[in-house]
Structures are given as structure tokens and as C-alpha cells.
Amino acid sequence: MDPQQLRYNPSHEWVGLTNENGQAVAIVGITDFALKQLTDLVYMALPKVGQKVTAGEEFGEVESVKAVSPLYSPVSGEVVAVHQELADNFDMLTADPYGQGWIIKVKPASGSSLDGLLTHTQYQEQCAQQ
């Protein structure tokens, strides 16, 4: 996905909307900036397909040799796909965080909106201040 077209949580998760089989799907991942801060990843806890997620609430975690960081959902809805390969192949995540490094796909709940999330420009400004 094109990082310029995505929306961002202040906590470094990204979301992009797409259409799969005629259904709106929100694809969620973590940013390149966050991955560089975390450095060497050692573990990732992911939700299960069918699990409900709520915007702003924790849906999993990623652990590096430095820290354990919760993952917060940028959108509310039901998990329809989980990228299980990531747990065994962190290189896929770090090499392509906005493509092959997606973490979950969510069927957005009716009325869900990405309006409260940061644009790419706003997210870049936040990262520059950290």
C-alpha cells in the first residue's frame, strides 16, 4: 500500500481501506518508523479470525529485544484475516511494512471511520518530534 494514502494511529499502526470480493476491508500494519525503533523482533501475538477489535484498543503485541509494545487497532470491526507467516518471518515485516508486512485485515463495523486518524503528513510531523 502507498504510505501516502494510509491513515495512522499516533501509536504507529497504519490502516488502508481496500475492496476484496466486493467487501470493504481495512488492512492494518505497523510503520517503518516503529520497526526501526523496536529493532530486533523476537515475538508477535496476533488476534484470531473472527475476533472483534475496537479502534484505539489493543489487539496484539510485538516484542523486540528492547521492549514489548502493544498494537492498537486503528479501526473497529471483525478480524477477517491474520498474517500468521509474520510470527515466523519478521524479515517480511521489516522489509515491506506497507505491503507483505500487513498484520491483520478487518471488516469495518458499520459507521466506522478513519477520520480521527493522522494523515501521512501529520504522522511524519509526529515522528520528526520524537
Given this model, what pLDDT does residue 110 score? Answer: 85
Given this model, what pLDDT does residue 88 score? Answer: 85
Given this model, what pLDDT does residue 34 score? Answer: 92
DSSP character at residue 99? T
As a whole number of angstroms, the distance between CA 30 and CA 22 comes to 25
Model pTM?
A: 0.94
Cα torsion angle, 71, 105, 74, 121, sign = positive
Low-confidence residues of the chain: pLDDT under 50? none
Instruction: Give yes or no for a contact between 123 and 80, defined as CB atoms under 8 angstroms apart.
Output: no
Q: Each residue of 76-106: pLDDT tens digit?
A: 999 999 999 988 888 888 899 999 999 999 9
The domains located in the chain, with CATH, are: 3-108 (2.40.50.100)
Instruction: Give yes or no for a contact between 49 and 79, defined as CB atoms under 8 angstroms apart.
Output: yes
Q: What is 13-68 written as a DSSP string?
A: EEEEEEEETTEEEEEEEE-HHHHHHH-SEEEEE---TT-EE-TTSEEEEEEESS-E
Given this model, what pLDDT does residue 40 score? Answer: 87
The C-alpha cell that represents 23 in the structure block: 467487501
Given this model, what pLDDT does residue 48 score? Answer: 95
The Cβ of residue 25 has, within 10 Å, a number of other Cβ atoms equal to 17
Given this model, what pLDDT does residue 6 score? Answer: 96
As a whole number of angstroms, the distance between CA 120 and CA 126 comes to 10
